[in-house]
Amino acid sequence: MRKGSILPVTLREKIQKKRATIGVIGLGYVGLPLAVGYAAKGFRTVGIDVDKRKVESINSRKNYIVDVDSRELAKVVRQGHLSARDDYSCISSLDVVMICVPTPFTKSKEPDISYILAAAEGIAGGLKKDQLVILKSTTFPNTTEGYVLPILERKGLKVGKDFFLAFSPERIDPGNKKFTTANTPVVVGGVTRVCTELACLITEQVVSKAIPVSSPKVAEMEKLLENIFRSVNIALVNELAELCDRMGGVDIWEVIEAAATKPFGFMPFYPGPGIGGHCILVDPYYLSWVARQHDFQTNFIALAAETNENMPFYVKNMVLREISMLPVSLAEAKIFILGVAFKRDVDDTRHSPALKVMELLLLDGAENISYNDPHVPEVEVDSRRFKSTLITKETLSLADCVVITTDHSTYDYPLIARSATLIVDTRNALRAVHSVKARVVRLGDGL
């Protein structure tokens, strides 16, 4: 920390000596890894979640997040460093409170920060002096200062003097084994300088580096930029994939591979059946909403989001086109979907494009759809329950059309290529398979 810091000595010393009690509100893909991380460093940590099943699972030493080490979770709970509860009665006993709740959008694509507001209200009821609150949920600029701060100051305590508030967005990449919570730098923006210093100090107890910025608004916008950057570039290659299919004779995958040989000025992105997860799909709409409050239209960003959301429709039409050339009706056709998680090697199905493809096929009259996903045992699509079907030579050969929507690394792609008769590959998953008996139609292959 900077020499001559004016941090409150009591809270600073509590953090440095690991005597601070940490609270994490929201025990999902962001909150649970964070809570386990602090507990593993010796901090007494309390997780808070309204989902009683999550609370019971943690207190029973049972893990439910792929990116969390089950043995580590069991260890910190057994040692008494981590516990969970489903209410806010412990707030006054906490020194640091981190908000890691969902931030979805409404049916009209407007931000829904009701979970953030509910967490702020819960904290306000037990807010005490020298307490640090850090909002980590991805949201639009001015959420921290314009919405959370007024709730926390309602009883007369003043930010920067009596309590401290900052925004520090999560940078969790589900399934990423190389970059984790521990070794990924984190941006921190406090309402005041002291708020920023405190937030950086607690962050660096479990993260390799905290990067301070001038305000919560900068940190909030930075997070949106990260994800919208990906959204725009994915939309670009998705649109080019469609163009290659229409032109014929140009394979977008080969084009990207060739472009990626340039050592500067180019970063490869890849097409697919759409985007999923929480942030990349949601964030463009958060920014577009706040832009409209300032009489500004984010046309470029909105178009990219629209392009990505149209991809499941494009993939559905690819499947319908291929089935139309078979001696079987759509209602009778056996369609086998491989992968329903939103990305490779995770169990997260939030906004999964694979589920959207299944929904669209059902709406168009497909009646015989099955799926496999080694990470997702069952799903609900259009009010229908589906259970994962084993991948065998028989299940593949009986399918009229196999659709690869998520390229899990555990899949036996040579077996899939040998056993199926027709494959729609939206991820270029069969690129390394040399012996292919099936007819393979790839997204963007230009054939």
- Residue range 408-444, pLDDT digits in tens: 999 999 999 999 999 999 999 999 998 889 999 999 9
- pLDDT for 259-306, tens place per residue? 999 999 999 999 999 999 878 888 999 999 999 999 999 999 999 999
Only one residue has tokens 């329903």, namely 340
What integer pLDDT is reported at residue 5 of this predicted model?
58
Architecture per CATH, 9-214: 3-Layer(aba) Sandwich (3.40)
Q: How far is CA 91 from the centre of its chain?
A: 27
Residue 238's H or E segment, with its range, is helix 216-247
Nearest to 391 by CA among 409, 414, 369, 373: 373
Token representation of residue 170: 């999560």
**377, 437, 384, 429: which is closest to 403 by C-alpha?**
429
Q: What DSSP state is assigned to residue 92?
A: G
Task: List, in sequence order, every residue forming a beta bridge with 47; answer none if it has no partner.
Answer: 24, 84
- pLDDT digit string (tens) for 34-89? 999 999 999 999 999 999 999 999 999 999 998 899 999 999 999 999 999 999 99
pLDDT per residue as tens digits for the range 195-229: 999 999 999 999 999 999 999 999 999 999 999 99
Give the span between the Cα atoms of 264 and 233, in whole angstroms: 16
* pLDDT of the residue at 9: 57
In the set 100, 195, 200, 279, the catalytic residue is 279
Report the alpha-carbon distance of residue 143 to residue 160 in Å, rounded.
17
Whether the predicted pLDDT of 4 surpasses 60? no
First to last CA, the chain: 58
Q: Which region holds residue 133: left if phi is over 0, alpha if psi is between -120 and 50, else beta? A: beta
Same CATH fold, 256-442 and 9-214? yes
Of 146, 143, 120, the closest CA to residue 131 belongs to 120
pLDDT of amino acid 1: 44
Q: Please tell me the predicted confidence (pLDDT) of residue 182.
A: 83
Query: What digits encode the pLDDT tens for the residues 360-384?
Result: 999 999 999 999 999 999 999 999 9
pLDDT in tens, 132-173: 999 999 999 999 999 999 999 999 999 999 999 999 999 877
Ordered by start, the domain boundaries in the chain are: 9-214, 256-442
Mean pLDDT, range 312-333, rounded to an integer:
97
Q: What is the pLDDT of residue 76?
A: 98
Distance CA 371, CA 376 (A): 10
256-442: CATH topology: Rossmann fold (3.40.50)
Spatial distance between the Cα atoms of 136 and 144, rounded to a whole number of angstroms: 10
**Greatest CA span in the chain, whole angstroms?**
79
What is the pTM (predicted TM-score) of this model?
0.91
Respond yes or no: is residue 279 known to be catalytic. yes
Confidence class of residue 7 from pLDDT cuts 50, 70 and 90? Answer: low
